[in-house]
Chains A and B, each alone.
Chain A
Amino acid sequence: MRDVAIIGIGHTKFGRASKTSLELFSEAALQAVDDAGVDLKDIEALFQGAALPGFEEGQVTPAAFSAAELNLGGGSIPATRYEGACASASIAIREAAEWVASGQCDMVMAGGVEKALLMGTLFATRIFAMACHAPTEGPAGLTFPGVFAMAARRYSKNYDIPLDKLREQMALVSVKNHKHGALNPLAQFYKKMGDLKVEDVINSKLVADPLTVLDCCPFSDGAAAIVLCAAEEARKYTDDPVYILGTGQGSGGALSKMKDLTKPDSRIKSARMAFKHAGLRPSDIDVLELHDCFTIAELIALESMGFFEWGEAAEATTEGQTESGGKIPVNMSGGLIGKGHPIGATGASQVYWIVKQMRGEAAKGNQIDPVPEYGMTDTLGGDFGTLCHIILGRGK
C-alpha cells in the first residue's frame, strides 16, 4: 500500500446558502484543484459525502452530477455518494485514501456537501432523526438532541457529577467553540457569539432536557473538498503536503444495544484502528477537530478516543485543557457548534481546518503555535451508528 497525501483543499462559507448543493460542492472543488495547482481533468475518481440530498433538494446520485458538471477527469469517471449520516464526508475521504493507497488511482477528489438550513428546524429534526434506529427509536419520538440529552444524564449519573454542575461544564464547550467560530471567516457564526457566557447557554431554550439550543450545533448549508494523491508525488504540487497517516471506522446499532451511552464501542474501536494504523498515541496529537454536535458529545468523544480518562473530560474542559495552549486544543475552527454543521460536508471541513493549522493558515486567534505536527479528526454519524477517524501529519 502507498502513502497518501492531501495536496489541495476547498471550503465554502457555512451558514445559509442561496446556491444549490451542486453549486456549493463545485465551489469547494474548484478551490481545492486551484489550491493543489492541478486540473479538473487530473481527477480520476470522486468520493462525495451527502447525507440527505433526496429530502433537501429531491436529488440522489449527487456525486455523479457533481463529477459531470465539473467535467472531472474529462468526464465519466467513477463518482460515488457516501452516506454515513454526519460522518459521510469522513468515510468518503477514508475510501478515497484507500483507492490511492491501493494504486487503483493516482489522484482523486473527496469531500461532501449538505443543504440542511432550507428545511427549517422541524423538518430538519425529522430527517436527521432518520439516522436513529427507526423501528424502536422512531415511535419513542427520539430526536438527535434527545439522544445526547439521554447521554448527558448518564454521564452525570455514571460519574456522580450533579446535573447542574455538568450543565455548566458542558456550557464551557459551547463558549469555547463559539469563541473560535466567531474568529473564523468561513464559520456560520463568524463575528457572532464570540463572548458567549455559561449563563447564556444554560438559560437559552431547552430543546431536550438538559440540553438547550446553545448546547446544540446549528443546521447549516456548505461544502468542503480535498484533492489526494500518492505521497511520493505530492511535492510536485505543493511545498506543504499533509499526509494521511491513519484512518479508522466503526459502526454501532440501536441505542438500546449500547452497553453505555457515554462509552460508544463504535468510537472506541474506530479511534484505536486509526491510532494503530498511524502508529501513534493520543499524546502524540497536537490538534483535534472532533464532532461536537452537542456539548456533551465533545466530552464523550475526548474520553472514547483516549485523550482523557473516563469521566475526566468535563473537568479538563473547565481547566482549559482543551483550549489553545492546553493539553489538547480541540475544535480551533469553532467545531460544529461555532462553525456550523452541513452534515455531509463536516468530515471534509474538519480535515480542511487541520490542514490549515499545519500550514499555519488558520484564522488569527485560532492558529496553534507552533504549527502542529500531528492532527486528528473525529466524525460521528447517527446515534453512534457511523464513526470515522483520520490522523494527519506534516511528515510521513
Chain B
Amino acid sequence: MTGKEQEEIEKEYKEYTVLSLSEYEEGLRNGKLLGLRCASCGGITCHPMPVCQWCGGRSLKRVELCGDGELTTFTVIRVPSEGFEEGAPYIPCLVKTKEGPCVVGRLDYDTESATQELIGKQVKMSGTHTCKGDKFSDGAHTCPVFKIQENKL
C-alpha cells in the first residue's frame, strides 16, 4: 500500500464548530447575545454547543438572541476564587432567555440589597463582564451582564 495523498487528507479534513466560544464572547463584547437555531426542532442553543441542546440535532445556524429574559436564580459571592477577587462581592446569576435557553452571567445590582424577591424579575442584557483570568484559564473570558427591568413584572 502506498497510503493516501497528503493533499487528499487535507481536503477531506472538516471542522464542525458553527459558533466558537471566542466568536460568542466577541459577540457579547459587541452587545450581541449569539446562539444557534436548530433546523430539526427550531430550538435555540446558547451558549454555543456542538449539537442542539434540546434535541441533539446537528444542523445549526447562527442567530442573535434579543437579550431579554427572566432571573432564575443568583447568589452574592463573598469568598471569591484566587485571581477572581476583582469587584467582589459580586452577583453571578442564571437567566432564562426569552428564546428558551438559560445562560450564566452576572447581575448588575447592589449586592447588599439583592434579596430573594429578585427571582422571577425580567432582566435585559446590559453589557459584559470580562475576567482577566489566571494562568489556568487560557486568557481572559467574557460573560453577559444583566440588569433588572424595574418597570416590568
Contact = CB atoms under 8 A, between A and B. Distances in A.
A and B: partners?
yes
Given A209-B75, A256-B94, A141 B103 contact: no
B82 A123 contact: yes
Contacts of B101: 256-257
Given A135-B47, A149-B75, A209-B76, A122 B81 contact: yes
B92 interface: yes
Contacts of B136: 126-127, 130
Interface string B119-153: 11000000001110110110001110000000000
Interface residues of B, number: 42
A255 B73 CA distance: 11
Given A150-B92, A254-B47, A255-B104, A141 B73 contact: no
A140 B78 contact: no
Contacts of B94: 150, 255-256, 261
A129 B73 CA distance: 19
A181 to B, nearest CB: 22
A360 B117 CA distance: 48
A208 B80 CA distance: 9
A150 B74 contact: yes
Nearest to A259: B102
B106 to A, nearest CB: 6
B81 A126 contact: yes
Q: Which of A136, A145, A150, A156 has the most CB of B within 10 A?
A: A136
B84 interface: yes
A378 B14 CA distance: 42
Nearest to B114: A209
B38 to A, nearest CB: 14
A136 B143 contact: yes
B131 A139 contact: yes
Nearest to B112: A209
A137 B104 contact: yes
Contact of B79 (A136, A138, A207): A207
A127 B136 CA distance: 9
Contacts of A255: 94, 104
Contacts of A146: 75, 77, 92
B19 to A, nearest CB: 12
B82 A141 contact: no
B103 to A, nearest CB: 5
Pick the most buried of A123, A126, A151, A157: most chain B CB atoms within 10 A of its CB: A126
Nearest to B144: A140
Contacts of A141: 77, 80-81, 84, 88, 90, 92, 106, 131
A374 to B, nearest CB: 35
Given A136-B47, A149-B75, A254-B47, A126 B131 contact: no
B66 interface: no
A134 B104 contact: no
Contact of A140 (B76, B82, B129): B129
A125 interface: yes
Contacts of B120: 157
A133 B119 CA distance: 23
A257 B79 contact: no
A275 B142 CA distance: 42
A211 B81 CA distance: 16
24 contacts: A122-B85, A126-B83, A126-B136, A129-B81, A135-B47, A137-B92, A138-B131, A138-B133, A139-B130, A140-B106, A140-B143, A141-B131, A142-B104, A149-B75, A149-B76, A150-B94, A151-B73, A157-B73, A163-B116, A205-B78, A209-B114, A254-B104, A255-B104, A261-B73
Interface of A: 121-123, 125-127, 129-130, 133-143, 145-146, 149-151, 153-154, 156-157, 163, 205-209, 211, 254-258, 261
Given A134-B137, A140-B104, A256-B101, 14 more contacts: A122-B81, A125-B82, A130-B136, A136-B143, A137-B104, A139-B129, A139-B130, A141-B92, A142-B92, A149-B75, A153-B73, A209-B76, A256-B103, A257-B102
Interface of B: 21, 47, 53, 72-85, 88, 90, 92-94, 101-106, 114, 116, 119-120, 129-131, 133-134, 136-137, 141-143
